[in-house]
Amino acid sequence: MVQDIILILDFGGQYCHLISRRIRENNVRSEIVPHDISLKDLQELSLKFNIKGIILSGGPASIYEKNSPRFNKTILKLDIPILGICYGHQLIAHYAGGIVIPAKTKEYGSSVARIRKHEDIFSGLKDNEQVWMSHGDTVLKIPKDYTIIADTTDCPIAAYKSRSKHIYGLQWHPEVTHTKNGSKILKNFIFGICNARPDWKVDALVKTYIKNIKTTVGNKKAIIALSGGIDSTTATSLAAVALHKNLIAVFVDHGFMRDGEPEKIDAIAKNLGIKYMHINAKGRFLEKIKKIINPETKRKIIGREFIKVFEEIAKKVDADYLIQGTIYPDRIESGQSKKSEIIKTHHNVGGMPSKIKFRGLVEPLKELYKDEVRELAVKLGLREDIIYRQPFPGPGLAVRIIGTVTPKKLAILKRADSIVTSEIEDNLKERPWQYFAVLTDTKSTGVRGDGRSYGYVIAIRIVESDEAMAAAFSKVPYTILERISTKITNEIPEVVRVVYDITNKPPSTIEWE
């Protein structure tokens, strides 16, 4: 049976990925596609999937800006339900003959929407609903054949619907948790309007992914980049079943790993029972980035060097394919969509050279979010300590040292990070999503004994998240933070100050670089 899917046209909005996640949480497949996807591409997708609905995401542009992102207006004539959110809401109104203007009062934050029509997309909602707004333009006049279904004090046309087609527009963001009943609105659209089947089950994808790897690689050999994280380990488990003796796992130790990390990766490979190579490339990588300050440049250099090492290994073992544990957020944050900003280049996506010496690149997890990878890992029977291991960036500690990377700085950060890890894991029953230390490029005055001391500032980052696309700083007890600070400053003489990062994502990223 052809799988149902909801497509999301990406206009560069920061919440685009959240729309996708909210759909998948309802066990319906979602896919983010370019905002200007052609009718031909839609037709090709319809041969693979049953397109049940299309959502137009928000975005930072104004529809009247030169080169603002647009979509093929013929899509509005298709017999497919359409929902426009924020920028998408404005664009539909504009294309259908309405009027959009800069708002007299721009809305950013929580607002109250008055629901006029308690049916279809608003079925089961109250008269007044708390919603989250983030817009500068507003719809002044709706198109003919459209009707207003919600308003706010500062936005008279906060939501509308077509009288003759299943086309809806919302000025607010139902995908964010700040919109109290946003999930209900999306459920109404997904199931009540699109009639989508909840047939997206991650644990049922194991056979499909194994088959895809087999089909792609065939009887050739492949090497897989094993970093010990949940993504690469899950990808390795899938590839091991698919390829057996034709798979070689390769761990490239670039020297930017945490204390004890290489030994853990060796143990993971042994436990998986696969062919395995541990490549010591510490000096090589450090030499490449020793004068580099810019974090994007660091990531790209490390990404390119990884590929060079893999190409050298592949030549030695006669492998034609490279397999990676790239996941969906890696692609999104690396700016894989036309109007998406590059948040940070991931070494295994944007950091890769345009041409690689492999017959093909295989990324079995590229359509999954982190929590979905963990579901898959459970199905594969991986150990809990691997499944719930905190994420670690591919470039490692190189992007947790602000500024240039030196052996001395690496030694300081490894010790600080080890203290953070042990204190969190020993004293918190429920571990946060991620917890680590950052060596800043700031030095500060301190006091040791009766004398002045001048040393580094360590920042502690601890966050809660479900899928890494959004995160909140963890409200760790002060007693734990104090013990971390005391240990770091007592045991690492080069550090005189420890600070705690209380910034959420967005506006920040989880990693500092």
> Is 173 part of the annotated catalytic residue set?
yes
DSSP 8-state symbol, 143: P
Q: pLDDT, tens digit, for every residue of 136-182?
A: 788 999 999 999 999 998 899 999 999 999 999 999 999 988 899 99
How many CB atoms lie under 10 A from the CB of residue 452? 10
Give me the residues paired with residue 277 across strands: 250
**Nearest-CA neighbor of 239 among 217, 263, 279, 210?**
210
**Nearest-CA neighbor of 109 among 172, 155, 63, 22?**
172
* 341: pLDDT strictly greater than 50: no
pLDDT for 399: 95
Q: What is the mean pLDDT of residues 288-316?
A: 94
pLDDT for 467: 67
Q: Give CA–CA dist 195/192, Å, rounded.
A: 6
How many CB atoms lie under 10 A from the CB of residue 411? 13
pLDDT for 103: 72
Question: In 3-state terms, the chain is what percent helix, strand and coil (to 5)?
Answer: 35, 25, 40
Instruction: Please report which confidence band the pLDDT of residue 499 belongs to, taking 50, 70 and 90 as the band edges.
Output: very high
Across 41-45, 310-314, 370-374, 410-414, least confident range? 370-374
Q: What is the residue whose two structure tokens read 């919109």?
A: 179
Whole-number average pLDDT of the chain: 90
Q: Give CA–CA dist 143/135, Å, rounded.
A: 20
Instruction: Please report which confidence band the pLDDT of residue 498 belongs to, taking 50, 70 and 90 as the band edges.
Output: very high
Among left, alpha and beta (phi > 0; psi -120 to 50; other), residue 58 is: beta
Q: What is the residue whose two structure tokens read 């920028």?
A: 87
Instruction: Please report which confidence band the pLDDT of residue 339 belongs to, taking 50, 70 and 90 as the band edges.
Output: very low
Q: What is the mean pLDDT of residues 288-299?
A: 94
* Percentage above 90 pLDDT, the chain: 75
> Is 464 part of the annotated catalytic residue set?
no
* 320: pLDDT strictly greater than 70: yes
Burial (CB count within 10 angstroms: exposed 0-12, middle 13-18, buried 19+), residue 390? middle
| Non-local CB neighbours of 243 within 8 Å, separated by 6+ positions | 213, 214, 217, 221, 222
pLDDT for 447: 86
* 344: pLDDT strictly greater than 60: no
| Non-local CB neighbours of 85 within 8 Å, separated by 6+ positions | 13, 19, 55, 56, 57, 58, 169, 170, 172, 173, 174, 175
Is the pTM for the entire model greater than 0.75? yes
Q: pLDDT, tens digit, for every residue of 471-493?
A: 899 999 999 999 999 999 999 99
Instruction: Please report which confidence band the pLDDT of residue 346 belongs to, taking 50, 70 and 90 as the band edges.
Output: very low
Q: One of 175, 261, 494, 511 is an active-site residue; which one?
A: 175
Q: Give CA–CA dist 22/29, Å, rounded.
A: 10
Task: Say if CB 12 and CB 337 are below 8 A apart.
Answer: yes
Q: One of 16, 86, 155, 194 is an active-site residue; which one?
A: 86
* 409: pLDDT strictly greater than 60: yes
More confident residue, 284 or 465: 284
pLDDT for 465: 87
Going along the chain from its start, the domains and CATH numbers come out as 3-193 (3.40.50.880), 202-387 (3.40.50.620), 400-500 (3.30.300.10)
Q: Give CA–CA dist 470/333, Å, rounded.
A: 12
**Nearest-CA neighbor of 124 among 189, 43, 188, 54?**
188
* 352: pLDDT strictly greater than 70: no
Instruction: Phi first, then psi: give them for residue 169, nearest 5 degrees.
Output: -135, 135
Q: pLDDT, tens digit, for every residue of 437-453?
A: 999 999 999 988 778 88
How many CB atoms lie under 10 A from the CB of residue 101? 13
Six token digits for residue 249: 């796992």
Instruction: Please report which confidence band the pLDDT of residue 338 belongs to, taking 50, 70 and 90 as the band edges.
Output: very low
Q: What is the mean pLDDT of residues 185-208?
A: 93
Q: pLDDT, tens digit, for every residue of 224-265?
A: 999 989 999 999 999 999 999 999 999 999 999 999 999 999
| Non-local CB neighbours of 275 within 8 Å, separated by 6+ positions | 245, 247, 248, 249
pLDDT for 349: 42
* 88: pLDDT strictly greater than 50: yes
pLDDT for 350: 40
Q: One of 17, 89, 94, 173 is an active-site residue; which one?
A: 173
Q: Omega into 407 within 30° of 0, i.e. cis? A: no
